[in-house]
């Protein structure tokens, strides 16, 4: 099977990748990680052997880039003048679902990726396992554990 031009792949799958990244790491970082994802994909594209699941291949790259961004955010220093230990954001400033997505973004890497892929793309557990380089059972378990943590937080 021959590979389509990379521009075609980009146009066909960019909305899915951006939606996944927005759900995984938030609107603020999604554009930067989107660019990193497609740059990495462009570099690897000539070596790609199969073109039967390009969307899954791109989502796999995006999930790894999202994990990298999440880890980098945790390591980033925060200037002392920007830290106000007594301040909390007003409850009305968040969108209705934004608190839920923030809780999803706080999940461990594998659980976060599994939950986002399962519920933003309605992937079957087999497909989810393929994207995450794991078994179907491991994908199912990651979704289960992620949902369990989310339920505990919202009780």
CA distance linking residue 133 with residue 100, whole number of Å:
26
- C-alpha triplet 9, 58, 4: angle, nearest 5°: 25
Q: Tell me the whole-structure pTM to 2 decimals.
A: 0.67
Say which residues have a Cβ less than 8 Å from residue 24's Cβ, sequence separation at least 6.
62, 63, 66, 70, 105, 112, 113, 116
**Residue 138: per-residue pLDDT:** 95
Q: What is the mean pLDDT of residues 131-146?
A: 93
| Confidence class for position 92, pLDDT limits 50, 70, 90 | very low
Q: Is it the case that residue 154 has pLDDT exceeding 80?
A: no
Q: Is it the case that residue 85 has pLDDT exceeding 70?
A: no
Domains (ranges, CATH) in the chain?
1-76 (1.10.1740.10), 98-155 (1.10.10.10)
| Confidence class for position 120, pLDDT limits 50, 70, 90 | confident
Written as six digits, the tokens of 20 are 């996944």
Q: What is the mean pLDDT of residues 77-102?
A: 61
**Residue 50: per-residue pLDDT:** 84
């Amino acid at each position: 099977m021959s590979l389509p031009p990379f521009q075609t792949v980009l146009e066909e799958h960019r909305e899915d990748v951006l939606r996944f990244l927005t759900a995984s790491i938030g609107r603020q970082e999604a554009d930067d990680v989107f660019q990193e994802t497609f740059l990495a994909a462009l570099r690897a594209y000539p070596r790609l052997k199969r073109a039967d699941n390009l969307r899954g291949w791109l989502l796999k790259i995006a999930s790894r880039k999202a994990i990298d961004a999440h880890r980098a955010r945790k390591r980033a220093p925060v200037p002392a003048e920007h830290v106000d230990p007594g301040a909390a954001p007003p409850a009305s400033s968040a969108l209705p679902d934004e608190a839920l997505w923030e809780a999803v973004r706080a999940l461990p890497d594998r659980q976060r990726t599994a939950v986002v892929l399962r519920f933003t793309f309605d992937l079957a557990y087999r497909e989810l396992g393929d994207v995450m380089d794991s078994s179907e059972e491991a994908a199912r378990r990651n979704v289960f554990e992620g949902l369990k943590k989310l339920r505990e937080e919202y009780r």
